[in-house]
Amino acid sequence: MNPQTIFAKTSKGVLGVRNTPTRLPATLGAVFFAVNGRSSVSILGQTLGMDESSLLLALRRLVVAGYIRIFYAPREAEGSSLDFT
């Protein structure tokens, strides 16, 4: 996953956390509440003090559960060299 990818909460996530008596596990809850639609994955990791593998696992679990979605994903470079011919 690109470190510049940005996630946003879904309406399902917001309503689910607000209306469900069952709470998310501590790590998932911290990541969910840190997702704001502006902070990239690298910023989230710094803010939360999480290592990359734990953060990516938490983000994937939240995406699969429908609590967050990718808001912005930068395009990967298609080629490393430019051809001006």
Whether 10 is in a domain gets the answer: yes
- How many other CB atoms are there within 10 angstroms of residue 13's CB atom? 20
Q: DSSP letter for 83, please.
A: -
Whether 34 is in a domain gets the answer: yes
Whether 81 is in a domain gets the answer: no
Q: How many domains does the chain contain in total?
A: 1
Whether 39 is in a domain gets the answer: yes
Q: Take residue 32 and report the two structure tokens written for it.
A: 């969910």
Whether 85 is in a domain gets the answer: no
* Closest to 67 measured CA to CA, from 27, 45, 35, 41: 35
Whether 79 is in a domain gets the answer: no
Task: Say whether pLDDT at 83 is over 80.
Answer: no
Owning domain of residue 11 = 6-72
Residue 82's pLDDT is 54
Q: For the segment 11-57, what is each residue's pLDDT rounded down to a tens digit?
A: 999 998 888 766 889 999 999 999 999 999 999 999 999 999 999 99
Task: Say whether pLDDT at 85 is over 70.
Answer: no
- For 40-60, what is the HEC assignment? EHHHHHHHHCCCHHHHHHHHH
